[in-house]
Amino acid sequence: MTGKRVVITKAGGLSAITCQPMRIPEPGPGEVRVKVAYAGINFADLLKRMGFYNPRPPFPFTPGYEASGVVDAMGAEVDGFEIGQHVVVAGSDGLQASHVISPRERVLPIPDGITLQKAASTPVTYLTAHHMLHYLGNLKPDDSVLIHGGGGGVGTAALQLCRWAGIEKVWATASASKHRIIERYGARPIDRHNEDFLTIIKDETNGKGVDHVLDPIGGDHLKRSLSCLSEGGRLYTYGLSAAAPSSKRSLLKALLALRKRPKFDPLRLMNRNRGVFGVHMGTWTNETVMQTQLKRIVDGIQDGHLDPIVDRVFDAEDVREAHQYIHDAKNIGKVLLKFEDVDDNTASLG
């Protein structure tokens, strides 16, 4: 039997990614094979294609941190699943394929009421946002938050988490076309092209600053984000979109973004009582912490506190178009790739 998978053949532009036939693998002991309906695309996949993101497997490789589908086969020593059961998979690459093999610990049953599309939109974006705000940030109801990229996948997840936590002082940067989604979740939008977020934050907090800043942009943008922090504030850096302003691979632009990164002085951070966290859930190894957070996120979706936003679904063969769509910052919420036709109802085997 043959399936298909996305392959990044080398570091480069859109021509470096393609959809290819693949032999369907067999699960080993403790492994589950999932027939994939939808796989999520994250900006990290774009950066990996361009050669600007680590760790990554050697070229060629299949990207993808998250996928949803049905249990297709199981290896020995696997229990708790049934063939045809709706599941979501969280991994560290290789999930943008029609059939994937995963350790059973990384496969989670999808509860009734959650569609396969919404399930595939959840692991990376919501886990990243929850990890920053709650696990690292100990978010409290009277805290204030600035979210950069408020219209994207992690941005909309963070907005929903803030609303769920009762946070009233939330700002989010985005292009003007995405302000409506930010306002929907009770936040104050800032036009990232025509307004200065640092001036607005200082003015609207009477010079105090905010308690949390989420920054996926990097480069010299981090310096300005750090300046937004209040006493005891925390800056979370979880991307480097400044290195990839277009779909074309430019070493010069990437190097400029890297050179403009702030060099954090421990003494200055100490004297000003500020903290900086680097966040990469693809390298996080504490399974207990991850499972606990994912369970809370799923509970939040079931209870109506969280609602994953699916912006657009591309056929797997159109992966280049999907990458360009994200490069152009057109998405509000999540972009998915579709692989196999699976009945996307909300019923699961129990």
Which pLDDT score is estimated for 253?
63
Is there a contact between 122 and 66 (Cβ–Cβ < 8 Å)?
Answer: yes
111 contact partners, CB below 8 Å, separation of at least 6: 298, 302, 348
Which pLDDT score is estimated for 347?
45
For residue 220, give both structure tokens: 């010299």
Which pLDDT score is estimated for 349?
40
pLDDT in tens, 9-35: 999 999 999 999 999 999 999 999 999
Which pLDDT score is estimated for 348?
45
Intervals of the chain under pLDDT 50: 347-350
Domains (ranges, CATH) in the chain? 2-122+308-338 (3.90.180.10), 125-282 (3.40.50.720)
SS3 of residue 81 by DSSP = coil
> How far is the C-alpha of 120 from the C-alpha of 326, rounded, in Å?
17
pTM: 0.92
Report how far Cα 42 is from the mean position of its chain's Cα atoms.
6
pLDDT in tens, 95-113: 999 999 999 999 999 999 9
**DSSP states of 110-149 as a string?**
PPTT--HHHHHTSHHHHHHHHIIIIIIT---TT-EEEEET
